[in-house]
Amino acid sequence: MYKLLSFAFLCVLFKSGILEYSFAQSSSKSEEDTLKTYQIDEVIVSGTRTPMKVIDIPYSVERIDNVDYKFDKKVGIDDVLSETPGLFLQSRYGNHDVRISIRGFGSRSNSGIRGIRILQDGIPESEPDGQTRIESIDFQSVGSIEVVKGNASSLYTNAPGGVVNFISDLNFQKTFGVQFNEFGSFGLSSNGFKVGAKTNNYRYLSTYNYHSAAGYREHSQDYWHIYNTGLEVTPSERSRLSMLAYYVSGLIKLPGSITKAELGKDPFQTNSRDVSRDAKRITQKGRVGLRFETSLDEDNHNNIEVTTYGTIKYFERTARTYRVFNRHGIGASARWINRTEIADHKNEFSLGGDLFYQGGPIEEYDNLNGKKGDILSTLTDETITNAGFYLQNSFSIINDKMNLLLTGRYDKVGFDSKNQLLGVQNAERKFEKFTPKFAVNYKLTPKIAAYTSFGLGFDTPAFNELDNYPLSSNQTPLLNPDLKPQTSTNFELGVKGTYSADDNDYFRRVFFEATFFNSKIEDEIVPFEVFGDVFYRNAAKTNRTGLEFGADAEFIYGLRLKAAYTFSNFTYDDYVARTIVQDTSGNIILKDNKFAGNVVPSVPKHNLSISLSYTRVLDDHTTGFIKTHFMSISGMYVDDQNSEKTEGYQLLNANIGLDVVFDHFNVLVSAGVNNIANKTYVGFVNINSTAQQFYEAGEPRNYFGGINLGFTL
């Protein structure tokens, strides 16, 4: 298979005639796809809560269109976003237990996503407490992805690390249908359909995907049914009504983390404890949202948007016990945007608010080798509420040249836990804070801008992070009385820009961005284990300093280089923690550890990504594509004590594709190989494990392919 792919790469290179480049052979379709990436001055991003051009936004943002990854593997978020500057992704089990880290925020999570607000079509996929799993994200249905990097607490709840917004592919121009198929190593299979219908007054999109995989470790198989749909109606020229919904159902088995000795002996072995427990997650969840947008005047000076949504979630999780979650939620958001002039200077003011309620019972039973016991041991009713409002004002100090952005948000997050069996151990925690931010954007030229921002961040614990633990000051209540929210003071300074010269034979388009950032964290929330159960505590003070750099250049028509580098220097300034350790004889020891000066675990100091791709029009009907992608990740500490460190690793991936169009019909074929050198590396760090089970190996060499059959009216 490997030799066959290598031969196919050479064939595409030969037929493309890369050394005999001819601009005259380019097509309008290919040109449109290429232009989407580079003209950042025209790209509009909505994750900032008011639609703004990228060049005018005074902080670091990124937008990825689906044309950028249409030939790539599309199983997990790490397949799609690994080339984005500032992001570090660690995937445990495909797409369904990924850790996303932006500037260190999110690195604390040993399960799910924290510290980064995840949106789907602008509606929170994150729960009211900030915890997120992204089973509903299907990259076949996504049209674009917006990434707002750095502190966004002044606009969103629990977003000190930023925002990732997955936007459905509703911006199509013609009615179409696609039947897609993806397959690969370790039993990977992804099959489904995508249809879109368009008239003058509405757009309708529907996507169904059935995904299954055996996994590259034993006891890591999964399957998922994912359905996404969207309908947009335009009742008038100045208004739009949208319905956005999804439903997902599936199962994933968990092989668990292993020790360094076990990793050296067999990196793909399972954790015997997790296998004996049949550790797994069974999920059913859905959401329906309605959004109404309108302009109150012909000149678009006043806009109103109102969104309402309802959620359901059924979740079974087996670990030490067998837990069953039944949750329902209801939420709403609204915003008003006013555009006017003050003394001939442009001004845009917006006011908005969010409400999100989620509640329901949690049942706990004995775990009998993965089967639910008959006796109900605990029954807890949990409620999470989040209410917040924000203000945002953008003022042009110098019209079309220098903007001042002021934002501020007030949040109140409440947790209520009631023991329904005993009527005691009820607990309640509430957290609230106002987080302001100011930023300045100055255009050095119409297409190059310098920017800076300063603001406060706020991140509450998630509900499961509030579980009480054996060393708390009061072990009676259900919720940890000692755990506090983490707060941060954040500063960044950067420059971004684009260069475009379609008439040039070389260096036709270039986009670049460089950002320096510094965050000082108070009471950082960090995980630790007590014999397999994960709890959370506060570190005192953390200092994070780093640099992000990204470049995207088209040297000649169709030949594209993307580079991303992130430098992270994250250390604990002040941190004393009491830990439970087990000596070689199995004795339990309580120990106070001083971690001041230690490096924050699970974040590499150096994170480099370089990809080179070439798109070539082969004839009137066929476009060829070839790409290679190189990643280099430095070693990471596995715990706050810095007792062990993973080895750095380098990965080389490659893929090819053909896009064939005949009248209304389209066939897209792709194939590729990841981890070509078959490197053994640590793909996920399980932080602060008492049993020193820190390690989970990344995916070995794996092949993938796909074929899409499409029809367009």
User: For 40-58, how does the pLDDT look when each residue is reduced to its tens digit (9 = 90+)?
Assistant: 556 778 778 888 888 899 9
In angstroms, the CA 5 to CA 3 distance is 5
The model's confidence at residue 593, banded by pLDDT at 50, 70 and 90, is confident
Query: Looking at beta carbons, which pairs linking 391-394 to residues 24 or more positions away fall under 8 Å?
Result: 391/349, 391/350, 391/351, 392/49, 392/50, 392/154, 392/155, 392/349, 392/350, 392/351, 392/352, 393/347, 393/348, 393/349, 393/350, 394/50, 394/52, 394/347, 394/348, 394/349
pLDDT of residue 10: 37
Across the range 658-669, mean pLDDT stands at 95
Phi, psi torsion values for 649, nearest 5 degrees: -145, 160
Q: Both tokens of residue 602?
A: 């699970």
User: For 253-284, how does the pLDDT look when each residue is reduced to its tens digit (9 = 90+)?
Assistant: 999 999 999 999 999 999 999 999 999 999 99
Contacts of 478 (CB under 8 A, 6+ apart): 380, 417, 419, 425, 426, 427, 467, 468
The answer to whether position 124 is within a domain reads yes
The answer to whether position 408 is within a domain reads yes
User: For 171-227, how does the pLDDT look when each residue is reduced to its tens digit (9 = 90+)?
Assistant: 999 999 999 999 999 999 999 999 999 999 999 999 999 999 999 999 999 999 999
Domain extent at residue 610: 2-163+199-712
Q: For position 388, which CATH number holds?
A: 2.40.170.20
pLDDT of residue 94: 54
Please give the span between the terminal C-alpha atoms of the chain, in angstroms, as a whole number: 37
Across the range 340-366, mean pLDDT stands at 95
User: For 114-124, how does the pLDDT look when each residue is reduced to its tens digit (9 = 90+)?
Assistant: 889 999 999 99
Across the range 436-464, mean pLDDT stands at 94
Q: Look at the chain and report how many structural domains it folds into.
A: 1
User: For 368-388, how does the pLDDT look when each residue is reduced to its tens digit (9 = 90+)?
Assistant: 999 999 999 999 999 999 999
User: For 80-107, how does the pLDDT look when each residue is reduced to its tens digit (9 = 90+)?
Assistant: 998 999 999 888 765 567 788 999 998 8
The answer to whether position 14 is within a domain reads yes
Q: Are 319 and 532 in contact (CB under 8 A)?
A: yes
Across the range 522-534, mean pLDDT stands at 77
In angstroms, the CA 690 to CA 257 distance is 12
The answer to whether position 500 is within a domain reads yes
In angstroms, the CA 117 to CA 699 distance is 27
Q: Counting every residue, how long is the chain?
A: 713
Q: Both tokens of residue 232?
A: 């947009």
pTM, to two decimals: 0.90
The answer to whether position 178 is within a domain reads no
pLDDT of residue 40: 55
pLDDT greater than 90 at residue 525: no
% of the chain exceeding 90 in pLDDT: 70
pLDDT greater than 70 at residue 3: no
